[in-house]
Chains A and B, each alone.
Chain A
Amino acid sequence: MFNLLYKELRLAAHPTLFVFMLMGILVIVPAYPYGVVFLFGCLAPFITFMFGRETRDTYYTALLPIKKSDVVKGKCLLVSFTQLTQLLISIPFAILRVYIIPEGNPVGIEANVAYYGFGLIIFAIFNLIFFVQFYQTAFKVGRTFIIASVPAVIGIFIMEFLAHIPSLQWLDSTSPDMMFRQLPILGLGLVIYIMGMCYTFNLAARRFSAVDL
């Protein structure tokens, strides 16, 4: 598994992937729709998959002494690594923000515990559609990205919408007691993300097994 991830990072990853990993830093911007951070986490796999098509990455990988399904596993590992690293990088900045800009984010949800839970759910939905669609052909990446990014954008709008409902104001807070109340959303996000990635891998690998390279 480590070798697959190493191969993805050394040969398959487009340089922008590493730049997008750093985009979690945006949560320190005083007024910014933080949901956009998740879009960078979706854009990173799109560019890397496109780059992979141009560099014939699938072809190289399929010839290595691995199972055909491991080609998909490598990409699942890369995308999870990117998205989770992006969120982890953002956490110190989200904490710092509470202290240096205590007045909060005027244009959208705060970078709080619920925000990370929503982010994981949005990533899980995007990944499921993106991987399963892509590995039907292992070729059509542009169309796949459009299909997968629509529900991801809708997810971001729903997150912002919920945070603006007066009775759900606790979702848009960074006070410790409110963030404690948000913990189940983070837990749900983690469960959906982990189970979602396992399901995504199984389904995409099954699709890919029928693809002729």
Chain B
Amino acid sequence: MDKLETAEDIIICRNVHKWYGDFHALKGINLTVKKGEVIVIIGPSGSGKSTFIRTINRLEEHQEGEIIVDGILLSHDVRNIAEIRREVGMVFQQFNLFPHLTVLENVTLAPIHVRKWSRDHAEEVAMKWLTRVGIPEQAHKYPGQLSGGQQQRVAIARALAMEPKIMLFDEPTSALDPEMIKEVLDVMRDLARSGYTILAVTHEMGFAREVADRVIFFDGGQIVEQNTPDQFFTNPKHERTKLFLSQILHH
């Protein structure tokens, strides 16, 4: 594998396009993410923000442009795809835990079958992460026996157990009851501060203000505006951004 760019830039997207049939979902996305950077992506629904982060680990295929993750070109080569997926963890809106496996089995599954760790080692690492997200005592329960917030924290531990360099969050708090949002955000805040590269699609503006290095505003399949959270929220430049912020901040 050639190291295509400097080590500093861990994700590079150049002119990324995606179509669903006739619908042009991504219209030329250019974005470079530095190692350790925390990026929050916001925008109205249907703006392509989820589609965009799903192209980074090939859950969605892009038709034009190039994506380079950790020096690996994302192409049709299954070996490249597998390599990138090993380095990129993802947390979904609907948790997507495996209901037929216990919490511990959910977390150890990929380390054992993809990283080929021994079961004992995988379980040790899994317990470390379950402790970090605050639910070591639930290890032997099944996902169906946990609350939504606990399930989402298991999902985060499951992604982290693969020791990825990049974490993608696709609206991780949108399916949660209000009192459970905080426990998930606390975990995310903790991760952001410990040096992970994070791309998060979220509507939690407090989280964005507090931990993001950069806020990106998506609309109509394009990046309309990006800036530091301070500048972005206090001094938005684009009309569309102002309208969006006024709608979500004054409801």
Do A and B actually bind?
A: no
